[in-house]
């Protein structure tokens, strides 16, 4: 489909405008941060219209663009919107304007700050629509730089070490991924994601790897394990899987809250989107023992994260661990797809559930965690200090609206039926249980633990003993609520009508699962 390059528009407009704002930053004179907000909003509206207009039944991708970029590697500037890209773009469009507005209200009235956020918005569009690895990696890496500076320059005290650790971890992940994917690309002879998927579906992949990647005559099994370790490991750093999550809690805690919204709501999904595109084709060929071991680590990780969240006193840190836990469900859903199904229909159905749950959970976790961090930010702007689990209590009487919204968000995060968090987790467990019962059973305690620590927080902060000095806190204003209203409307709406999302991602899911028939 040719025509107006819509995707390039929503990619480059915020990216270049953000860059311009950063370059033009002045110490004095009127600040132009509201320009940033309007630009972000405009770009988001265009994005949402594109997502709405995407015909649902159509297959692989829409609004395609392709320009020759690096002929020697067979790489083009290729963008396109598939089902997964569609929902992730919608998520970006919903969260970014809220984040920019929140940052301005928090007093970060710097053009540089707003500019960095705008740049992130643009690069995320690139990541979510890239059709080949080069384009994907290009925008993925560029996104790291503004993120680093947001934490480094505007974070809470201790930001120097935290931001550096974030950057080094991220680069470690990127390079592992780069080296690993280059191996895959030299095996299949192309950087396009579709070519890799095709090679996997036709079972040509292991042979290609064995032929093209000679390494001391190592058995193909080992080569595949190596490629899997590099690509999955590299992306897992980005998602914050447990043994490599060291950067995540500190970064989420020290980053300005509006940046944490983006980090958890969107950037952590980048790793998962990458896994769906790059790791899934490899999964059926990963040796079973390696896969089981990885699954065991993932299960351990998500339970560990839930337990760690229970031990936190800072609410932001608690949410960070809870985020690791929630994305852990996505990781197990992804990894169980590697179980051989032998073409059995029931197994295929289970895989459909798992993958559908993964995508829904990604979307819903994006909404919920962004909402939670936004509310945390609003609470902190009243308290003038960090929101703590054991902090001043009894806020419900003083700030009833705040308590109401927070309650909604917390219940969505726990996975209460009727809210979006439930559907994703339900589908994941439905799929995982059929494919690998012990994984599902092993992960169940985490659900319970999550409920415990979140409810404990609600109980104490809203119903506990009130503090005399919190009497003068003002409740949420209309504009503050209007800003987050779209997120919450969707959280509720999706709880009842998940097909709003499902019909957009179904073609992607079916296509992906069909390719893993053996």
Contact set with another protein (CB under 8 A): 68-73, 134, 137-139, 141-142, 145, 152, 160, 164, 167-168, 171-172, 175-176, 178-179, 182-183, 185-186, 211-216, 223
Task: Specify the DSSP class assigned to residue 126.
Answer: H
Specify the residue, 70 or 485, whose C-beta has the smaller distance to another protein: 70
Q: Please, which residue, 234 or 442, has the CB nearer to another protein?
A: 234
| Strands 62-70 and 75-81, bridge-based pairing | antiparallel
Complex with another protein: residue 57 or 217, whichever CB lies closer: 217
Closer of 4 and 215 to another protein (Cβ): 215
DSSP 217-255: T--HHHHHHHHHHHHHHHHHHHHT-GGG-TTHHHHHHHS
Q: How far is the CB of 349 from another protein (least distance, A)?
A: 38
Confirm if 499 and 433 have CB atoms less than 8 A apart. no
Whichever of 185 and 262 has its CB closer to another protein, that residue is: 185
Cα 291 versus chain centre, distance: 23
Which residue number, 230 or 275, has a Cβ lying nearer to another protein? 230
Give 186's DSSP letter.
Answer: H
Q: Least distance (Å) from another protein to the CB of residue 10?
A: 19
Taking the complex as a whole, how short is the minimal distance between the CB of residue 204 and another protein, in angstroms? 16
Minimum Å gap between C-beta 182 and another protein is 5
CB of 516 to another protein, least distance (A): 26
Nearest-angstrom CA–CA distance, 51 and 155: 33
- Tell me whether residue 187 or residue 408 sits nearer to another protein (CB atom): 187
Closest CB to another protein among residues 119, 295: 119
Q: Over 364-429, what HEC string results? A: HHHHHHHHHHHHHHHHHHHHCCCCECCCCECHHHHCHHHHHHHHHHHHHHHCCCCCHHHHHHHHHH
Query: Residue 54 has what DSSP assignment?
Result: S
Nearer to another protein, 159 or 365 (CB): 159
**Matching residue, tokens 């620590």:** 453
**381 Cα distance to chain centroid:** 26
Could you tell me the smallest distance in angstroms from the CB atom of residue 71 to another protein? 6
The residue (of 134 and 488) whose beta carbon lies closer to another protein is 134
CB of 187 to another protein, least distance (A): 9
Adjacent-strand bridge partners of 81: 62
Rounded Cα–Cα distance for residues 96 and 282 (Å) = 33
Distances (CA, A) of 417 to 109, 173, 495, 498, 500: 40, 36, 7, 12, 17
Contact (Cβ atoms closer than 8 angstroms) between residue 371 and residue 491: yes
Report the alpha-carbon distance of residue 309 to residue 302 in Å, rounded: 11
C-alpha dist (Å) from residue 167 to 155, 235, 313, 350, 355: 14, 14, 26, 38, 30
Percent of residues in the chain assigned helix, strand, coil, to nearest 5: 75, 5, 20
182 versus 389: smaller Cβ distance to another protein? 182
Q: How many CB atoms lie within 10 A of CB 311?
A: 11
CA pair distance 140, 124, nearest whole angstrom: 7
- Contact (CB, 8 A) for 448 and 440: no
Provide, rounded to whole angstroms, the least separation between the CB of residue 167 and another protein. 7
DSSP 62: E
**CB 271 to another protein: min, Å:** 17
In whole angstroms, how close is the CB of 213 to another protein at the nearest point? Answer: 5
- Minimum Å distance from CB 78 to another protein? 14
Choice between 122 and 431, CB closer to another protein:
122
Compute the least distance from the CB of residue 72 to another protein, in Å.
5
Q: Which two tokens stand for residue 98?
A: 């809220």
């Amino acid at each position: 489909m040719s025509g107006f390059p819509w995707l390039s528009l929503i990619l480059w407009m915020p990216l270049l405008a953000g860059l311009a704002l950063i370059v033009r930053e002045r110490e004095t004179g009127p600040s132009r941060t509201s320009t940033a907000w309007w630009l972000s909003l405009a770009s988001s509206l265009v994005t949402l219209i594109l997502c709405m207009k995407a015909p649902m039944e159509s297959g692989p991708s829409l609004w395609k663009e392709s320009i020759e970029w690096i002929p020697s590697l067979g790489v083009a500037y290729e963008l396109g919107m598939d089902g997964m890209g569609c929902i992730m773009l919608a998520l970006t469009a919903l969260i970014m304007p809220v984040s920019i507005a929140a940052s301005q209200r928090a007093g970060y009235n710097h053009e540089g700050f707003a500019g960095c956020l705008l740049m992130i918005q643009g690069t995320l569009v690139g990541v979510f629509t890239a059709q080949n690895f080069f384009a994907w990696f290009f925008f993925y890496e560029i996104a790291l730089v503004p993120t680093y500076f947001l934490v480094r320059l505007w974070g809470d005290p201790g930001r120097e070490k935290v931001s550096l650790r974030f950057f080094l971890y991220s680069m470690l992940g990127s390079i592992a991924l780069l080296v690993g994917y280059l191996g895959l690309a030299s095996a299949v002879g192309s950087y396009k994601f579709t070519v890799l998927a095709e090679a996997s579906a036709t079972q040509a992949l292991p042979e290609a790897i064995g032929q093209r990647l000679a390494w001391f005559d190592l058995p193909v099994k080992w080569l595949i394990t190596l490629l899997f370790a590099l690509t999955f490991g590299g992306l897992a750093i980005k998602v914050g899987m447990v043994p490599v999550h060291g950067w995540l809690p500190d970064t989420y805690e020290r980053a300005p809250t509006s940046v944490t919204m983006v980090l958890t709501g969107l950037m952590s999904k980048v790793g998962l989107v990458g896994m769906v595109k790059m790791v899934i084709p490899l999964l059926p060929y990963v040796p079973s023992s390696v896969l089981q071991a990885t699954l065991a680590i993932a299960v351990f990780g998500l339970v560990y994260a839930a337990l760690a969240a229970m031990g936190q006193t800072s609410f932001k840190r608690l949410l960070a661990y809870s985020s690791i836990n929630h994305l852990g469900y996505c990781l197990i859903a992804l990894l169980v797809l590697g179980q051989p199904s032998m073409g059995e229909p029931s197994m295929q159905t289970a895989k459909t559930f798992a993958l559908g749950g993964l995508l829904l959970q990604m979307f819903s976790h994006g909404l919920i965690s962004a909402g939670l961090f936004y509310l945390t930010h609003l609470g902190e702007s009243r308290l003038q200090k960090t929101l703590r689990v054991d902090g001043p209590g009894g806020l419900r009487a003083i700030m009833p609206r705040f308590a109401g919204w927070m309650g909604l968000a917390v219940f969505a995060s726990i996975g209460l039926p009727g809210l979006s968090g439930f559907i994703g987790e339900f589908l994941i467990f439905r799929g995982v249980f059929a494919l690998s019962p012990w994984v599902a059973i092993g992960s169940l305690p985490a659900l319970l633990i999550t409920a415990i620590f979140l409810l404990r927080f609600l109980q104490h902060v809203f119903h506990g003993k009130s503090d005399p000095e919190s009497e003068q806190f003002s409740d949420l204003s209309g504009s503050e609520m209007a800003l987050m209203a779209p997120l919450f409307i969707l959280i509720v709406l999706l709880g009842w009508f998940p097909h709003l999302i499902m019909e957009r991602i179904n073609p992607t899911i079916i296509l992906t699962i069909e390719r893993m028939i053996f």
